[in-house]
Amino acid sequence: MARFLAGRLVALIFILLALTLAVFVIDAAVPTDPVAANLGAGASQTLIRAARHALGYDQPIYIQYYRFLGRILHGDLGTSLRTHNSVAADLAQFAPATVELALASMILISGLALLLGLWSASGATGATAIRFVLVSLASAPTFFFAIVLVLVFYSWLGLLPASGRTTAGTATGFVMTHDLWRGDLVGWLDGLRHILLPAVVVALGPAVAIGRVLRGSLVDAMAQDHIKTARSKGISDSAVLLRHALRNALTPVLAMVGLQLGLVLTGVIVVETVFAWPGLGLYTSEALVNSDFPAVIGVTLVLGAVYVVINAAVDVLQVVADPRLRDRP
């Protein structure tokens, strides 16, 4: 196991390096000269050359990459062209809202996926009809869910708010966690009402995808001999399903969880834009609209690293769940 973990760790470092290299190449591909743009149109050639030298743009490309890497490792992601703050500080300010949204979505995803998977695998009435509904849900773009839910629950029924995190106004920081910590139930419920719609929209797609995989692997697991043995011993159907089949069905589900993550990250950007949720997604979409390139690069690096690290963790979890996978090529 130690050898396996060490191998995974080395692979993880390589993938993270590849991520920084990819972002560096994209950064270098920007058609405008960052130095000339920074100095303004009236700058003389001498001034531009001096600034290029001072900023290291006249160095060989590998030296530039080395410096780029050094800056990232020191947490320097540049300065946003829109907010004029350091990108790292901006990200730290907007991240908590996204983390809370992601947590709420994860809770919904686990619950919904388990429900969908168990229901459709149990062969209960209506299980075939579910497939049609699942494919329909799977086909819907995130923004379609978002606008339909806003129209129904906000505009039509008037049950839930359509934007922001609290009634009091835009808020950054861990609002709900903070309310819970202080025991402010009213504030927490207000936060819950605001987080419900965006979290459902983020969760629906991944929940359906994971639910479908869970159904497939449950059906396979239920066909195994040890399940027949368990049944013939007289264990009830639900106990067989939950205790014997579900555990063995989890490996492909974990793989799907890792695969869904990239989609969740990008889905969050769309959802936060629709619901004016003051997190990394809204920050990104505003950066995109305003051509705030340093901010886009910063978000890509940070969210990309999160994606890579979580995927590596899911990989390891798969092996924990099924040690036979360790010898997989």
DSSP 173: S
Q: How far is the CB of 138 from another protein (least distance, A)?
A: 4
- Is 300:23 a contact under the CB 8 Å cutoff? yes
Contact characters 29-58, another protein, x per CB under 8 A: xxx---------------------------
Q: How far is the CB of 297 from another protein (least distance, A)?
A: 6
304 binds another protein (CB under 8 A): yes
134 binds another protein (CB under 8 A): yes
To the nearest 10 degrees (0 to 180), the angle between helices 185-222 and 175-182 is 110
Compare residues 144 and 181 and give the one whose CB is closer to another protein.
Answer: 144
265 binds another protein (CB under 8 A): yes
* Closest listed residue to residue 163, CA positions, set 136, 138, 194: 194
Compare residues 26 and 115 and give the one whose CB is closer to another protein.
Answer: 26
The window from 81-89, 95-103, 181-189, 256-264 that contacts another protein (CB under 8 A) reads: 256-264
Compare residues 17 and 242 and give the one whose CB is closer to another protein.
Answer: 17
CA–CA dist 23, 299 (Å, integer)? 11
23 binds another protein (CB under 8 A): yes
CA–CA dist 116, 125 (Å, integer)? 13
- All residues at 6 or more sequence positions from 112 whose CB lies less than 8 Å from its CB, including other chains: 203, 204, 207, 208, 211
Q: Which two tokens mark 238?
A: 């639900």
78 binds another protein (CB under 8 A): no
Q: How far is the CB of 93 from another protein (least distance, A)?
A: 20
218 binds another protein (CB under 8 A): no
Q: Which two tokens mark 8?
A: 């995974």
Compare residues 248 and 285 and give the one whose CB is closer to another protein.
Answer: 285
Q: How far is the CB of 296 from another protein (least distance, A)?
A: 4
205 binds another protein (CB under 8 A): yes
Of 270, 280, 282, 319, the residue at the interface with another protein (CB under 8 A) is 270
Judged by CB under 8 A, the chain residues 84 through 103 that form the site for another protein are none
285 binds another protein (CB under 8 A): yes
258 binds another protein (CB under 8 A): yes
CA–CA dist 229, 52 (Å, integer)? 74
Count Cβ atoms within 10 A of the Cβ of residue 329 and give its class: 0-12 exposed, 13-18 middle, 19 or more buried.
exposed
Residue type, 12: L
Contact characters 103-132, another protein, x per CB under 8 A: -----------------------------x
Count Cβ atoms within 10 A of the Cβ of residue 7 and give its class: 0-12 exposed, 13-18 middle, 19 or more buried.
exposed
Judged by CB under 8 A, the chain residues 150 through 189 that form the site for another protein are 150-151, 154-155, 162
250 binds another protein (CB under 8 A): no
CA–CA dist 104, 148 (Å, integer)? 20
Question: In degrees to the nearest 10, what's the CA dihedral of 102, 4, 302, 170?
Answer: 20
